[in-house]
Chain A
Amino acid sequence: MFEIVDKKVLAPNIKWIRVKAPLVVENARAGQFIVLRLHERGERIPLTLFKWHKEDGTIELVFQEVGKTTYELGSYEPGDKIMDIVGPLGKPTHIENYGTAVVVSGGVGAPIGYAVTRALKEAGNHVVSIIGFRNRQYVILEDEFKKVSDELLITTDDGSYVRKGFTTDVLKEYLENGGRADYVFTVGPVIMMKLIAKITKEYGIKTDASLNPIMVDGTGMCGACRVTVGGEIKFACVDGPDFDAHQVDFDELLMRLTEYKREEREALDRYVKGVH
């Protein structure tokens, strides 16, 4: 059992928790994730490691309430326990000193982007962070990003905070104005990652994307998380979650994410109505 020791609401439906998971922190690295199961009847879902602390064996997670499991997790309070947590899973993001690295994160991709940004910064890169949110209410982790970025560019879809536009607009402007980028890392909604990849391809910039397919075990034994990269079938949980963004079939990923739409809605409805 894994005890929640702290909790905060960061934005509407976006929550932060700190959980005791001493085994996970020993070998955790940026870009990796955990799989959790709340209780006996729960499903297994993946969440990325936002931060981890060897001193007290805790991990921090940031998640968006989108369905039954994440809403239920959102209802947990400090002192409550999560039944199973396994990790760290996936390959860590490949970190090296590229020169100037640009990290583009959208929405709840931000916690993943943050962990990678910090690692890139520690490796000596000049790091430019581009983070985008729907609107002012949803802006999260701004201070965190500030601490680990050399430049921080924030945008909101509706212009309610800092500037108007998508992360893709910001990246385009940055490059058009002669901004340097030796490496780009992107994480967020699939559509966003797809468009970022399109831009960087034109500029010939090496780009990795952190993919978020449906997962079950997260250890390579089921293939639920399979994605097509360069025409080959890869399992995101063990071969990724990061892949060369110019090789990923994003349309397929987007399509596969809707596999259980109907069941997800049914589960959420029942949950909201209090039928357990």
Chain B
Amino acid sequence: MAKQIKKERIKVPEQDPKARIHNFNEVALGYTFELAKEEASRCLQCPYNFAPCIKGCPVNVNIPGFIKKILEEDIKGALEVIHKTNSLPGITGRVCPQEEQCEMNCVMGKLGDKINIGKLERFVADYAREHGIMPETEIAPKNGKRVAIVGSGPAGLTAASDLIKMGYDVTVFEALHEPGGVLIYGIPEFRLPKDIVHYEVKYLKMLGAKIETNVVIGKTKSLYDLAKEYDAVFLGTGAGTPKFLNIPGVNCKGIYSANEFLTRINLMKAFKFPEYDTPIRKGKKLAVIGAGNVAMDAARSALRVGYEEVYILYRRTREYMTAREEEIHHAEEEGVKFMFLVSPVAFIGDEDCNVKVVKLIMNRLGEPDSSGRRRPEPIPGTEFGLEVDAVVFAIGQKPNKVLYQEVPELKTTRWGTLVVDENYRTTMPGVFAGGDAVRGEATVVLAMGDGKRAAKAIDEYIKTGEWPKEIEPHNF
């Protein structure tokens, strides 16, 4: 280990911004084997019990462990190390906010750039997929017990994968026609190619999980049916119901929720209309309201369906934006324009109510609110109009209530999230929940972590039959 340590990160090739806004292909192209090995060689191989990267990972991937295997050119080995705790590396390697997790306290940060853990994980998954390398997975003998999973987002898929490995008979029910949750309908192709999601789902099926699409629990089947037919149920239904501002003109044509806009594009391939049947509104100028990851995805997708000018309208200042730095940077490179300290107060349409103008008011920052962020306060008399052909709301989502409408014993918080204790037990015996359904909007890997720990709790419950009289609500 006495050799010179390279301080700078090995760069990841990317598509040129000018070219990429005309296609939905992936922006970051990923490491080649050579580059991956070079980056891997920078890792200090901190001991397993100490490595801060492992602690920072919500599913505790043995990071130095898989990095070492890359150096040894043993990709199957690397994949197996990752798969011990993470069944979706092709996905997490692309969408995790690594800078706030595994990479945050990477020891290399003291000497130079932190290790690019995310891109190395992605490299392993991609290389394995492209070369047909499969991890050897140990599956316990069937134990004859059945578990139902509602929702096929990262929480549900992870719970399914872990339960299968423990010998359970697992069925996943999904409302939409394709499994994957936000991975399929929300996060755009240029950040997460859908083939990768399909591949990871296929692997899960290969392990033995049954996936039933086109089933809405609460409608097609009730939760009571599931509770009767299965030994336990896990709810990973996400936080998919969009919020709108109830201001004048909000129902004009050309005003979308980010979910609708992105679903039309990602799930229904409206960018290929009329080859695909689902249309999407075309125009020159589009404004996105909000400044999180969802807003960046909507703005960058809008450029790709052909909008020439795309604005992000945010009520606070740049430093308060919640989107990942990498996404903001990519959006800027692609020419998305940012307007800070503005809030929409009305939409004005033409005679057919096609939206034409967003009326905005300027804000100043006041006292910090409960989240510690300074609250935007409108400045009277500062209204102005911004011309647009379409608007996308990306101001947040809440859990979908379809599932619980007729299940009074399932308690929810005042934000509409499900009440669970630290073992992911809901207020209905035998029913567990995790992911965005209990956290509100969070992240892919947190949903996976929930699915994982819930699978453990489910296993324990089925083995012992124990359920507490009172559920101690846990704050996630």
Contact = CB atoms under 8 A, between A and B. Distances in A.
Interface stretch (A137-145, A177-185, A196-204, A213-221): A213-221
Nearest to B176: A217
Interface in B203-223: 213-216, 219-222
B253 A233 contact: no
Interface string A38-64: 000111100000000000000000000
Contact of A233 (B177, B250, B259): B250
B154 interface: no
Given A221-B242, A221-B259, A85 B214 contact: yes
A255 B279 contact: no
Contacts of A221: 185, 240-242, 259, 263, 400
B244 interface: yes
Contact of B400 (A220, A233, A270): A220
Given A87-B220, A219-B402, A270 B241 contact: no
A219 B220 contact: no
21 contacts: A26-B220, A26-B221, A42-B277, A44-B268, A68-B277, A86-B215, A86-B216, A89-B219, A219-B402, A223-B242, A223-B256, A223-B260, A224-B260, A233-B251, A238-B400, A238-B401, A238-B402, A255-B352, A266-B274, A267-B274, A270-B274
Interface string A219-252: 1111110111000110100100000000000001
A263 B242 contact: no
A96 interface: no
B246 interface: yes
Which among B175, B221, B401 has the greatest number of chain A C-beta atoms within 10 A?
A: B175
Interface string B245-264: 01000110110110110011
Interface in B278-299: 278-279, 281
A86 B176 CA distance: 8
A176 interface: no
A69 interface: yes
Which among B263, B268, B279, B401 has the greatest number of chain A C-beta atoms within 10 A?
A: B279
Give the top 4 A-B pairs by smallest Cβ distance, nearest first. A263-B279, A222-B260, A43-B277, A221-B240
A220 B352 CA distance: 26
A6 to B, nearest CB: 22
B221 A27 contact: yes
A89 B221 contact: no
B192 to A, nearest CB: 18
B220 A88 contact: yes
Interface string A10-50: 00000000000001101100000000010001111000000
Which among A23, A220, A226 has the greatest number of chain B C-beta atoms within 10 A?
A: A220
Contact of A263 (B215, B269, B274): B274
A263 B259 contact: no
Interface residues of B, number: 42
Contacts of B402: 219-220, 238
Given A41-B276, A217-B175, A221-B240, 4 more contacts: A42-B277, A69-B277, A88-B219, A258-B352
Contacts of A27: 219-222
Interface string A102-122: 000000000000000000000
Interface in B167-204: 175-177, 185
Contact of B263 (A87, A222, A233): A222
Which among A41, A256, A264 has the greatest number of chain B C-beta atoms within 10 A?
A: A41
Interface in A76-104: 83-89
Which among B220, B253, B259, B402 has the greatest number of chain A C-beta atoms within 10 A?
A: B220
A264 B279 contact: yes
Contacts of A252: 251, 353
Per DSSP, are chain A's interface residues mostly helix, strand or loop, or mixed?
A: mixed
Contact of B246 (A23, A217, A232, A259): A232
Contact of B177 (A84, A232, A264): A84
A87 B176 CA distance: 11
B273 interface: yes
B369 interface: no
B216 A84 contact: no
Contacts of B257: 222-223
Nearest to A252: B251
A154 to B, nearest CB: 34
A270 B222 CA distance: 41
Contacts of B279: 43, 260, 263-264, 267
Nearest to A267: B274
Given A86-B175, A258-B253, A259-B281, A223 B259 contact: yes
B466 interface: no
A264 B277 CA distance: 9
B275 A41 contact: yes
Given A88-B219, A223-B257, A267-B279, A256 B251 contact: yes
Contact of A219 (B221, B244, B400): B400
Contacts of A264: 279
Given A27-B222, A222-B259, A223-B260, A43 B177 contact: no
A232 B250 CA distance: 11
A233 B401 contact: no
A146 B475 CA distance: 58
B220 A86 contact: yes
A216 B400 contact: no
B411 to A, nearest CB: 20
